[in-house]
Structures are given as structure tokens and as C-alpha cells.
Structure 1
């Protein structure tokens, strides 16, 4: 986990990869993927970002990102660039159910146990939380070759790029803070986003960060 005042080079590189995948701009994504590999991201780390994106922007965007990455890797190999593959995820734990694994990760990111409460989405449709726990968190987010802070960076960037999902974006800004990102690192995320993706979307993200910080105990 990065504990410095700002994001490191590979964390910065995740931001435009996730955002351009969510937006579906494949030429911009290709540039971001090349920059990500140049920054030190491994092939498997980028694969994890692109895999995770299907949960936030759908299979079509994710699959387009994956095929774009395949082309980037091929082109770089033809140029004699041998990018490091990186480590694969560890096997799933055998001493816990998928529900238990997913619930633990969901609680860590949310900062509290999420359960059915009067008027919330879990009470309205309990199955969605089962899917979140058993699939998103247990099958995807639990894959340990990309850390939780980096995964939240990717999610925040993707949601910023999607737009119209301010509630979820605020939740994941809080989630990033809950898994170890500092306020300064989240600010840095939006600075990088503004410089590499769309500036006015980054400004909106900064405003939402202010809202999140105002609601958190100091």
C-alpha cells in the first residue's frame, strides 16, 4: 500500500486506463495502456483493471478494453519490448465461503456492515447484495494481484468518466479512504484525471471529495 503524500507512478497510470475504458475511447485507451506499461504496471495488473471494469461499465466496454490491450502488447512485442507479466492472483481461500469473503471485503470498503435497512436498496432487492458479495467482491475484488487501494483508484476513475453516478462515486471515494488512500492521494487522483482525461469531470470529483470529507469524522 502506498503511504506517501501522493500517488506513485503506477497508480497514476491506472487512472486514464480505467477512465478511457469506461468512456469507450479506444485510441485514447491505447495511449494510456502504453503509458501504463512504460510506468511499470505489469501485464497482469492491467488485466485486473480491465477485468474489474466490466462490473462498473459493462462487458462491452471491458471486452473492448481487453482486445485493445491485446493489440498493444502485440505491437510492443513486435518492437522488441518485453513487458513483465507480473504475478497471478492467489487461489481462492478454502476456509471461507464466497459470501464470507465478499462480505468481509464489502465491509472493509464501505466502512460498515451493509445490510437490509428500511428504504435501502438491499431491503428492496436483497439478491443484488448477494451478487455484490459473492461475485463482485469475492470473485473479482478479492483477486490479490492488485491491491484494494489500486482497485479503488480504478473504480473512482471509471465512475468519474461515466458521469451521472455521483452517489456511487461518493461511496467509492469514501471506500478509497477506508482502504488506505489519503485525502491528498484522492486529490492527486483528480489532478491526474484532469490532466489526462477531462478537466471539468475532475473538478466535479474534487467537489464530491469535499462533500465526503465534510461528512467523515475527523
Structure 2
């Protein structure tokens, strides 16, 4: 099998000439199948703009732990004029969902690549909250995404010995991260859904943030396009599980 013209054209626009890649020299058959599907079918079906494609695939490869592909995508994103601040914010935003231990590996990799590409570090600060207002600001964001009634109900129904989780969520998850500049709120909530779908095994959280994305004006078609774009990076089981959750929220009996 040969690379299709469409897949080759899209791939080379993003990443450069295929002939220069070690993978195509050592595993041509595998590489051809991958590129034909990823860029000739998945990318075409998703029909995302260039920046959104890089944002979600960087978020996904981070969540699954794909350091090699993350590095390749990061360099291509910079080549295609994605703002370095947005790339850094993808990594920061992942922390509450995949944990500091994994994020540190990717933050270090990102910094190494930025230095290699002569991007001056540190980047401009994007933080907007203080120690005294982070919880309040975070709760405001939760209310915007999930609805004040739902957040109030969650807090009031939580047993006292677990109330610290609600405080942590408002102050840390939403107050420390969602309030940052560099990415708009709708994009942050979409990236959160991408992390969760890519991780797998977080069905309750996928459902909550799938609804959060719908509340932030993402349509069923929008979310199906995101899932279509992620399939090459996460595989079919996680993608099919995400579609089941989406169906439960958007299909009427």
C-alpha cells in the first residue's frame, strides 16, 4: 500500500517530508497505514482547524503518556504558528486530571524543545488569582460550566468527612488552572474532556465534562468530530466508550 495523495499532502504540510522520517524507512508498511488513516480519514472526517487539531492531539498524547509523539506534535505546532503560551497551558491544565508526576515529564520535554527552538523561557505569567480569592473564583467557573444549582447541590450533598474534595476542586482544579489566561474557558473545558477520554477508566468524569462541554455550546457534531480526531491516538475502546456517553446525553428516546 502507498500513501494516499490526500494523507501525504496533509502530513507534509504539518510535519515535513515523509522521506526524512526514520519510521518510514524501518516500518514503511505500518507508517503508511497509520498516516493514511490518521490524516487521510480521521483528520478529514474531523475537519478541525489547524490550531484546534494540535491542541487536542497534544492534550491527548500527554494524557496517554506518548512522549515521542507529543514531542513530534509540539515541534509541528510551533512550525505551524501555534502560540507557545497555549502549548504550555495545555500542560498546566492537565495537572488536576493526570497528576503532577506525569505532567512533570512533559513539562520538562516541552522546555527542552522550546530551548532547542530558541523560545525564551520562562514565558509570560498567565495566572490571575491570589491565595485569598482562588476558591471563590474557581467556584464561579464551576457555576459557569455546570450550573450553580448543580454545584450547590453537589456541595450540600457531600458528607462532612469528604468536604475537602469540594474545597480542593474549587480552589485548586478550577481556581488555580481554569482561571488562567492563555486559553479561553470553552477550550479549557474541551481539553479537560480530551484528557479524560484519553486516560480511560474515568467514565463518571467523562460524563460530567461531556455535559460541561455541551453547556459551553459544543454540539453533538462538534464532540463527535473531536472523538474522530482522537481515534488514532487513543484507540477504539476509549473512543467507543466516549461515544456511548455522548449518546446518553444527546440522543432522545
What is the alpha-carbon root mean square deviation over aligned residues?
2.9
Which of the residues 142, 162, 184 maps onto 1:106? 142
Aligned equivalents of 1:166 and 1:19: distance in 2?
16
SS at match of 2:117: helix
How much does 1:208 deviate? 1.4
Q: How does 1:39-188 map to 2 (within 5 A)?
A: 39-77=80-118, 88-89=125-126, 91-92=128-129, 97-113=133-149, 114-115=151-152, 120-121=157-158, 125-188=162-225
Task: Give me the TM-score of the superposition, normalised by structure 2.
Answer: 0.71
As a proportion of its length, which structure holds more helix? 2
The 5-angstrom pairing of residues 30-41 of structure 1 reads 30-41=71-82
- The structure, 1 or 2, with the larger RCO (C-alpha pairs under 8 Å, 6+ apart) is 1
Q: How many residues align?
A: 205
Largest Rg, 1 or 2: 2
**TM-score (normalizing by structure 1):** 0.81
Q: Does 1:213 align with 2:243?
A: no
Q: Structure 2, unaligned stretches of length 5 or more?
A: 1-45
Which structure 2 residues correspond to residues 185-200 of structure 1 after superposition, within 5 A? 185-200=222-237
Q: Check whether the contact 1:156–1:172 (CA below 8 A) recurs between aligned residues.
A: yes
Report if the CA contact (8 A) 1:122-1:128 is conserved: no
Instruction: Choose 147-156 or 197-206, whichever is displaced more.
Output: 197-206
Runs (4+) off by over 6 Å: none
